[in-house]
Structure 1
């Protein structure tokens, strides 16, 4: 049975709180929690599954905060959320059968490209831009694809949802952030269902971290709604680059 010291529990609570802030604004909270969990001695599968436990609570809190403030209609998003859930289920199932080394190899460069897009793309703000595909096509293609990635691996899924909403659906940054949270919740929950069925999560630790993640997500959502693109854009760039560097270090360091 897995044992962890009180010191590591306190550090993991702090990591979950900070991850909740980052994830509710720009995505990428798994960048913080998964390495912290592995540092505490958990296996990669245990770390990913525990991250799903606390991420579900954090995403729920952020989605509720944005909906309460009127930035997203959760009911209208339910069909897309079901597709994200299905993608998360499929990804979590396949992680047991497919090697993830190829994903680790290509993902850093994708994240660097995302960072470059948000750093140098002109005209990005809280005002909606040009829509390139219809909401139905977006929900049927991009949403389950990102949901699959979220179930299969996870970190950065929020950034991928954001990129899709901004570049394809034409959403402003604040609107994209608000709409990505329910989808992130759904794909996280889909992955968690499969991990729970296989007995992977350490529930006690996951729930303790969930309380901290929820508090951080509420704080982050308030901050994003207060200052909008001024904080969302730089955090998207920073989290994408940081996650890419972390993965490159794991791959080649």
Structure 2
């Protein structure tokens, strides 16, 4: 019964993740509720090992329908992978409590900015040419990749927002790009968790199948309804992240 419950949570997480990211808001609490006696690292590793398949599937579907520059995103994926490893290494020796308290405030600023700029992310108008865009995308990749390895919550939303704000992408293209970079950072995390034995592979396999099913639905919704729909889901997910991270930082 516990496995069925987390599989349903994984399906819903895959749906949300495929649109704009933030599926961890659903799947991680479900895993902790279903397996309260398990080591946190094992549950987080199992979450990553299951969720990466839905993210990768969404990335594949987006790249077939949305035009993206490989010369921009391949270096950015490598940068995100390196950043994620560096962040995971750094967290072993640094206290993340200050970042935990700052996160809801940063997310609140992102939400306020997005709401204030009504046209933000509605039109796809890349700001840079083929020479400069990979540099900016690489900087985003290494910075948010480091954050994902170091802390994690809201990684997909940060990728989406920065691709919209700094590169001039609309929310649909930004979400597609975010899937590729998020797959890269998740891969780094899985390697580290697996190396230390913190993955339940049998549970992860069930989560993966459910996550891909949810991802299929979410991807179709995003491609069908376009940037405006993705923007609305982005606002909802960031709002939920503010509530969750605010509770964790100040009330827990």
Once the 2 structures are TM-superposed, how far is the Cα of residue 112 of structure 1 from its aligned partner? 1.6
Correspondences of 1:26-41 after superposition (within 5 Å): 26-40=20-34, 41=36
Q: Structure 1 residues 43 and 245, CA, compared in 2 at 3 Å: closer, same or farther? A: farther
Aligned mate of 2:217, from 200, 219, 223 = 219
Contact 1:91 1:191 in 2 (8 A): no
CA distance in structure 2 between the aligned counterparts of 1:162 and 1:22, rounded to whole angstroms: 14
RMSD, aligned CA: 1.9
Correspondences of 1:36-185 after superposition (within 5 Å): 36-40=30-34, 41=36, 42-74=38-70, 77-129=73-125, 131=127, 134-185=132-183
Unaligned runs of 5+ residues in structure 2 are none
Contact 1:22 1:220 in 2 (8 A): yes
Unaligned runs of 5+ residues in structure 1 are 1-6
1:167-218 C-alpha deviation (Å, 9 max, x unpaired): 0000111111111111110011111111111111222212211111111112
Once the 2 structures are TM-superposed, how far is the Cα of residue 76 of structure 1 from its aligned partner? 5.2
CA distance in structure 2 between the aligned counterparts of 1:152 and 1:203, rounded to whole angstroms: 23
TM-score by length of 1: 0.90
Q: Structure 1 residues 130 and 66, CA, compared in 2 at 3 Å: closer, same or farther? A: closer
Contact 1:132 1:168 in 2 (8 A): no
Contact 1:88 1:189 in 2 (8 A): no
TM-score by length of 2: 0.90
CA distance in structure 2 between the aligned counterparts of 1:116 and 1:206, rounded to whole angstroms: 36
Aligned mate of 2:15, from 13, 21, 35 = 21
Once the 2 structures are TM-superposed, how far is the Cα of residue 75 of structure 1 from its aligned partner? 6.6
Aligned mate of 2:237, from 214, 226, 239 = 239
Aligned residue pairs, count: 247
Contact 2:66 2:176 in 1 (8 A): no
